[in-house]
Amino acid sequence: MTTRPWILDDDLWAIIEPLLPRWPERSPGPKPVDDRLCLQGILYVLHQDIAWQLLSLELGFGSGQTCWRRLGRRQQAGFFEQLHRILLAKLNAVGELDWSRACMDGSHVRAKKGGSRETGPSPVDQRKTGSKHHLICDGKGTPLKTITTAANVNDITQTLALVDGIPPVAGRPGHPRRRPDAVLGDKAYDSRAIRRELRKRRIMPVISRKGAPNIKGLGKLRYVVEQTFALLHQFKRLAVRWERRLELHDVFLSLACGLICWRRLKKTHS
């Protein structure tokens, strides 16, 4: 039987439904498309990477224009970031987040339609227009924070933004946690200033130095971030940037992070 990953299962919908604003009972015009079906249309585009106008009405998700507008409304309400935080908290509650270390890296994607924000000549793709995904994940590869920049932005410039951008994660007794014990990075993150700022945050920097041999065993520990990028780019919409508007591309990125968290949470209950 062919799996259809864009179909929401009931357990995930039970988490999502309370987060969605209710439509007014007496709103003018025709009855809006059901929120669950519309979200499945968004997931279909995320997985299959089709143009919005090619989203067939026969699938029952509503038109591509309807799903695109609903995506924009949810983005403005911060729904996708909230969903990601909730799923992180659930993973934390069952001890599935490894706070002993976090890993950082960047990955280039082609920007087929350009964009007014966060695009630039890619140094690894014949200077074609592209963007870069910057990611920090926990020691098990669970995505904690992502940032999109132009393709020619150096990884080191986003180090503190990634670390400080980790949301407060509840789920355990005490204050929500948002700081790993250590941050692992390759030589692209080598900087005395960065090390100093990480130590101020009570985070141990484990970063290889330029001109010196790599820290022994660091590659094996950092491999999880490469795995997470592979998972993110399995969502075909993220392997290439089609959205000119940065906020819409970031919505897909945040939604994919949430889905990765959900898959890991389901494994803990299986």
Q: How far apart are CA 185 and CA 95, in angstroms?
A: 24
In a domain, 59, yes or no: yes
State whether residue 7 is helix, strand or coil.
coil
In a domain, 264, yes or no: no
In a domain, 268, yes or no: no
Q: Categorize the per-residue pLDDT at 27 as very low, low, confident or very high, splitting at 50, 70 and 90.
A: low
In a domain, 106, yes or no: yes
pTM value is 0.91
> 223-263: per-residue pLDDT in tens?
899 999 999 999 999 999 988 889 999 999 999 999 999 99
Q: How far apart are CA 117 and CA 100, in angstroms?
A: 35
Residues 56 and 157 reside in one and the same domain: no
Q: How far apart are CA 41 and CA 66, in angstroms?
A: 9
In a domain, 85, yes or no: no
pLDDT exceeds 60 at position 1: no
> 43-76: per-residue pLDDT in tens?
999 999 998 888 888 888 888 898 988 898 888 8
Residues 109 and 234 reside in one and the same domain: yes
Residues 260 and 143 sit within 8 Å (Cβ to Cβ): yes
Q: How far apart are CA 233 and CA 217, in angstroms?
A: 26
Angle 35-48/64-76 helices, nearest 10 degrees? 100
Q: Categorize the per-residue pLDDT at 103 as very low, low, confident or very high, splitting at 50, 70 and 90.
A: very high
Query: How many domains is the chain built from?
Result: 2
Residues 110 and 229 reside in one and the same domain: yes
pLDDT at position 89 is: 96
Supply the range of the domain harboring residue 178. 98-243
pLDDT exceeds 80 at position 81: yes
Tokens of 97: 């987040």
H-type alpha helices, the chain: 10-16, 35-48, 64-76, 79-93, 159-165, 192-200, 218-232, 236-239, 246-269
Tokens of 113: 């339609």
Q: How far is CA 120 from CA 111, 112, 136, 254, in A?
A: 9, 12, 22, 22
> 155-208: per-residue pLDDT in tens?
999 999 999 999 999 999 889 999 999 999 888 899 999 999 999 999 999 998
Angle 64-76/79-93 helices, nearest 10 degrees? 70
**pLDDT: which is higher, 204 or 218:** 204
